[in-house]
A and B are shown apart, each in its own frame.
Chain A
Amino acid sequence: EAEVAQSPRYKITEKSQAVAFWCDPISGHATLYWYRQILGQGPELLVQFQDESVVDDSQLPKDRFSAERLKGVDSTLKIQPAELGDSAMYLCASSSGRLNEQFFGPGTRLTVL
């Protein structure tokens, strides 16, 4: 069964360091999402790609966060510099674009010390 892959699963870093997360969506899914899930909350959209283009990054803190999907397949989310408040689960999801059904990866748990 096709799955969304994410790495690393866990990341511990010190504040002011740079971190990067990687996501490989289900093959053929044109739409890719990055979500942030703070402990005890539901996921919140950071950025959405349609192929290699950004569709929505209105909630992405652009002073420190960046995301790319250069070839319209896998994607990288970067934080530089990391802050204590960035500690969260970062989830990647993909969709074939029909009827909103999204498939989630296992997530990357980020801890900023």
Chain B
Amino acid sequence: AQSVTQLDSQVPVFEEAPVELRCNYSSSVSVYLFWYVQYPNQGLQLLLKYLSGSTLVESINGFEAEFNKSQTSFHLRKPSVHISDTAEYFCAVGKGGSQGNLIFGKGTKLSVKP
């Protein structure tokens, strides 16, 4: 069975500092990996995804994540965070096929302080 572990429930960081949100997954088959962001009282928005090809994927707002098959990880990074990045971030794994289900981690709350 697939599972996702987000190792940190909360990450406080100062503005303009770098940040890494950790995600590890377990799966016996090839997977697709996603990071979603959720602002308070809103739905989830796709931040970035790994489907195949280059193991380093980037979002339009400066986040990046690297798929590491040997370590079964998909950590999310940003070199310099802004106050507006304060949100909850969810890592998810999907195995494709006709069902296309996503398994989500429990989330990491990123708090950016001035």
- CB interface residues, B 58-78, toward A, < 8 Å: none
Residue pair B102, A109 in contact (C-beta under 8 Å): no
Q: A43 CA to B94 CA in the complex, in Å?
A: 14
A42–B43 CB distance below 8 A: no
Select one of B44, B45, B96, B99 contacting A43, CB under 8 A: B44
* Partner pick for B105 among A42, A93, A103, CB 8 A cutoff: A42
Does A101 sit at the interface, judged by CB under 8 A?
Answer: yes
Chain B residues touching A, range? 20 to 34
Residues of A with C-beta under 8 A to B102: 45, 100, 102
Tell me the complex Cα distance, A60–B4, Å. Answer: 21
Residues of chain B within 8 A (CB-CB) of A44 are 104
- Residues in A with CB closer than 8 Å to B41 are 107, 109
A55 partner, pick from B92, B99, B104, beta carbons under 8 A: B99
* Per-residue contact bits, chain B 86-98, to A (CB 8 Å; 1 contact, 0 not): 0000101011101
A51 to B36, CA, bound (A): 25
B51 adjacent to chain A (CB < 8 Å): yes
In the bound complex, do residue A48 and residue B104 qualify as a contact, i.e. CB atoms below 8 Å apart? no
A33 to B102, CA, bound (A): 10
**What are 27 pairs between A and B in contact, CB < 8 Å?**
A4-B43, A41-B107, A42-B104, A42-B105, A42-B107, A43-B44, A43-B90, A44-B104, A45-B102, A48-B101, A55-B99, A91-B43, A91-B44, A97-B98, A99-B51, A99-B94, A100-B34, A100-B94, A100-B96, A101-B46, A101-B49, A102-B100, A104-B43, A104-B44, A104-B45, A106-B43, A107-B43
